[in-house]
Copies of this chain bind each other. A is one copy, B any other.
Amino acid sequence: MSEKVVIALDAMGGDYAPEETVKGAIDAVWEHPLDIQVILVGKEDEIERELGKYEYVKDCIEVVNADEVIDMGEVPTIAIREKKNSSLVTAMRLVRDGKADAVVSAGSTGAILVGGQIVVGRIKGIKRPALAPFVPTKKGPSLLIDCGANVDARPEHLVQFAQMGSVYFENTMGKKNPTVGIVNIGTEEEKGNQLVKETYPLLKECKDINFIGSVEARDIVSGGADVLVCEAFVGNVILKFFEGVALTFLSSIKEGLLSSLRTKIGAVLIKPALKGLLKTFDTSSQGGAPLLGLKGLVVKAHGNSKSGEIKTAICQCIAFKENRIDKKIAKIIQD
């Protein structure tokens, strides 16, 4: 029997906690009762009240009490230091102490990034952990690394991002030797800003990855590379811009389709086709973003996650444990 992956879920994190987080956990263990063990971390009474609403496999879910909650507006460094009994810090401590393999949280991104480094800790040799969400493309998801809050990276950081991203993509998407590109403003080697120009030759020399050169931003959505390496400011701008475009397009399409009887009838007819499109490019369906480079997995789910996204974020931890991704990252960095 393969060992279960144990996930400490920050039950209090996110806009719809604890209702949706608890429901997400229950759905996840219904789907993978043999693979997943969830520890719900947070205010015990509130969690128990939610749990009481459902049927679920009791053996697969436990509760660990944590009285405090880190709010979205708090300064991450202070919150992590002062709220030691918060659901997030308590969940992270479970990973640090070997009682869980992964933390999933839909709480404050900043607090997750800081807590990941301070409480869970970096893998030896990793200079900077990186937040690496999947972004939807026409050819399937690409991993965009780094989208975190550690801006102004140096070339050696980007090389580690490429290595970690490559390992993660290969072991979650099951594609051997995934392509790695650097996000750039042109495809020629001499193009780019100082950081990209200095990083390019290092990636070219790096034996561990399948580097295919620069990927222009216009080719990201058509699927220019499996792993897209960039500095966090740029990655964050791409990710957020994509979310904005998707939302605005969607609301504009809806408005247009509901504008007359004619378009309303048309809308019914095209619904299946449109749904397919929206599904392909839905930035919220890609699960959570892993924070790579830590001794254990930390997954950041979107702040407005409903139970579906929480479930996806929990389930994506299975591959992490099964494929021993943290061990593989440690190995590639130490070699």
| B253 engages A263 (CB within 8 Å) | no
Contact residues in B for A152 (Cβ distance below 8 Å) = 193-194
Residue of B219, B269, B271, B276 near A244 (CB, 8 A) is: B219
Shortest Cβ gap from A154 to chain B (Å)? 12
Q: How far is the CA of A280 from the CA of B238 in the complex (A)?
A: 21
Shortest Cβ gap from A256 to chain B (Å)? 3
Report A279-290 CB contacts with B as 1/0, cut-off 8 Å.
Answer: 011000000000
Within 8 A of B (CB), among A149-208: 149, 151-152, 183, 185, 192-194, 196
Residue A268 is within 8 A (CB to CB) of chain B in the complex: yes
Residue A52 is within 8 A (CB to CB) of chain B in the complex: no
Known: A151-B185, A237-B183. A274 touches B256 (CB 8 A): yes
Residue of B151, B239, B263 near A270 (CB, 8 A) is: B263
Contact residues in B for A218 (Cβ distance below 8 Å) = 240-241, 243-244, 247
Q: How far is the CA of A273 from the CA of B236 in the complex (A)?
A: 32
Q: How far is the CA of A30 from the CA of B259 in the complex (A)?
A: 36
Shortest Cβ gap from A319 to chain B (Å)? 27
Which residues does A use to contact B, with CB under 8 Å?
Answer: 137-138, 149, 151-152, 183, 185, 192-194, 196, 216-222, 232-234, 236-245, 247-249, 252-253, 256-257, 259-260, 262-263, 265-274, 276-277, 280-281
27 interchain pairs, CB-CB under 8 A = A149-B185, A151-B185, A151-B194, A152-B193, A185-B233, A185-B236, A185-B237, A193-B233, A217-B244, A218-B240, A218-B241, A219-B244, A220-B241, A221-B241, A222-B244, A222-B247, A222-B248, A238-B241, A241-B241, A245-B245, A249-B277, A249-B281, A256-B273, A257-B270, A265-B269, A266-B268, A266-B271
Q: A152-B193, A196-B233 are in contact. List 15 more A-B contacts (CB 8 A).
A: A138-B248, A152-B194, A193-B233, A218-B243, A222-B247, A234-B234, A237-B238, A241-B242, A242-B245, A252-B280, A256-B274, A263-B269, A265-B266, A266-B266, A269-B269
